Structure 1
């Protein structure tokens, strides 16, 4: 099992090589040759020009840093984070997600949201503090539910306007203030496709750095209702036999795991 030990301050002595997750205009730097192993470089490579730099922890004993650079260094190119993560093994993918969220928190909270004073990094914890009013801001997480609705040997899959052509996935939506995850599942399913569900089963969760979500996935059994796609949110939705699914997300995302594992559970009879 790959071990990542999160930390705010570097542990001494520093590791001989370092994982650098460096971003330019919101995109992750990767080597021109697309050899992701070249991300393990000397500790000083990105330090001189870094506009923002944060220690993340250690992955299998190797220090991990997140930084923002003003431009692409020679021999590197900036690519969208989602595309870069799809090429990474899971341990690196999750640290890249952490790096993106830490940098977004740092970017979005340079000024106090209560009094507009410039904030400062708080020593010893991942926080920015206002020196004028004392307001403290920690990295933000936005919980969101994902629900894969099933009926017999069919799955309810949908696509939003921003999906890649031909791709369908499970339903998803953000938790509202004062709402439990379970209440959110029932509400969002009803809003997005007009059906009611029961028998919610927790599947798993995934940090999703677009920009700072925590996806909490469930399966849910259909109870009643005909599919009515929510205008402006759902482009298309339908019931699909498990042996005739449309294009679905890769295992890069929790939705890809959820759909494939639910199909297996229906086939072996463990989902009732």
Structure 2
């Protein structure tokens, strides 16, 4: 059984099983306009919701896990949440499953018809095979849930307690929060080249000694974060217009507000500080 190291991961004892059926004890993640429907900060009971066709995901602790879309309006007493905002509201294991459910329901919503011939897609293999893909019965095109790889990088310079981190903030960042730099991997590009390109594009500096650290699913809506550290090489900070509002070198002992613990950015910073025998505030 795989260890779960991030709240955005599916739990280690979750099992893929696309044959599971709905039942009174099932865990159902139901969405309305892309938001997760909750009842008093918990998953609603099956009887509280009228859903469109359910998508089987697997089993968790002996319970079937399914995802679906709410039919009609949200009933009184229930609320719709941005999935990311349910961190700390749902237990970590359910938060991870909510991310999986969100990715799969969004895949079904955005891949209803074949991109080659416009025929309505079917789930899985009509000959009896199981898979999360959708298949065109007319031309045979198969499409799979999108997973977009993105690199995220903590850049440092200096040594020991004199270490500094290059952190930045963009227009979509929470007020006052600075984070590590990140960007999507381009076609036919290595991860290491993506690190160098993104850093140069966003802040105008060159980096070296690029080292892979860990990966983290980021289902907001469909990324896989690949975390790296890198050492500053050369160049002056030049924020990319429209992408970066501000970027600065911050002493490791005087960091600004940084992202919450479930993020790759925070983990990179915390682990770097740990090697320096320092901690975040």
| TM-score, structure 1 normalization | 0.89
Deviation at 1:204, TM superposition (A): 1.2
Among 210, 214, 227, the residue aligned to 2:237:
227
Among 17, 21, 38, the residue aligned to 2:29:
21
* Structure 2: unaligned runs, 5 residues or longer: 4-11
* Structure 1: unaligned runs, 5 residues or longer: none
State how many pairs are aligned.
259
Among 143, 146, 166, the residue aligned to 1:140:
146
- Deviation per CA, 1:79-120, whole angstroms, max 9, x where unpaired? 111111342332222111111110111011101011111111
Deviation at 1:9, TM superposition (A): 1.8
Aligned counterparts of 1:45 and 1:20: Cα–Cα separation in 2: 11
Equivalent residue, structure 1, for 2:57:
56
Q: Map of 1:116-265 to 2, 5 A cutoff?
A: 116-123=118-125, 124-152=130-158, 153-265=163-275
- Deviation per CA, 1:160-188, whole angstroms, max 9, x where unpaired? 10111001101000000000111101110
Structure 1 residues 52 and 168: alpha-carbon distance in aligned structure 2, compared to 1, 3 A threshold = farther
Contact 1:85 1:96 in 2 (8 A): no
Among 75, 78, 102, the residue aligned to 2:77:
75
Deviation at 1:231, TM superposition (A): 0.8
3-state secondary structure, aligned to 2:277: helix
3-state secondary structure, aligned to 1:199: strand
Q: CA RMSD in A?
A: 1.8
Equivalent residue, structure 1, for 2:7:
none
Deviation at 1:73, TM superposition (A): 2.7
Contact 1:18 1:41 in 2 (8 A): no
Runs of 4+ with >3 A deviation: none
